[in-house]
Amino acid sequence: MSNLKWYKIFDGQKEAEKRISINTPQLVVIGKVRICLVRTSRGFYAVSDQCPHRRESLSKGAINYLGEIICPGHNYIFNLGSGVEANGNCPNVATYPVEVTDDGFKIGIPVLGSVSQ
């Protein structure tokens, strides 16, 4: 498993809940990494903003009744927790861990070139 660098997005859970509406994907950019941040009734999820099929922005997509994100380009459906495409029609999307600590609401991004010990 690669090492992660944690990036603070909000001061805490309450601010995140105020800024991210339920079932409304939101684009978050950390450096050069574009992330689609989603809040569902089950919690927060972070996935790559780029659909692997044609690079459509998933933050412009919709959330279905199962809490999956639907690509606006060709309607591919991705599980927000695992990144798996529901029908096996295209590669899976990358997922990023989300955590809330005393320091704030954070997203973990893999550090390129890191070696786990």
- Going along the chain from its start, the domains and CATH numbers come out as 4-110 (2.102.10.10)
Cα of first residue to Cα of last residue in the chain, in angstroms, is 9
| pLDDT surpasses 70 at 116 | no
According to the model, what pLDDT value does residue 2 have?
60
According to the model, what pLDDT value does residue 90 have?
93
DSSP-derived 3-state class of residue 35 = strand
1 or 106, greater pLDDT: 106
Q: List pLDDT tens digits, range 26-60.
A: 999 999 999 999 999 999 999 999 999 989 999 99
Angle at the Cα of 82 (from 71 to 78), degrees rounded to 5? 15
Q: List pLDDT tens digits, range 68-115.
A: 999 999 999 999 999 999 998 899 999 999 999 889 999 999 987 544
Q: In the predicted model, what is the mean pLDDT of residues 3-21?
A: 95
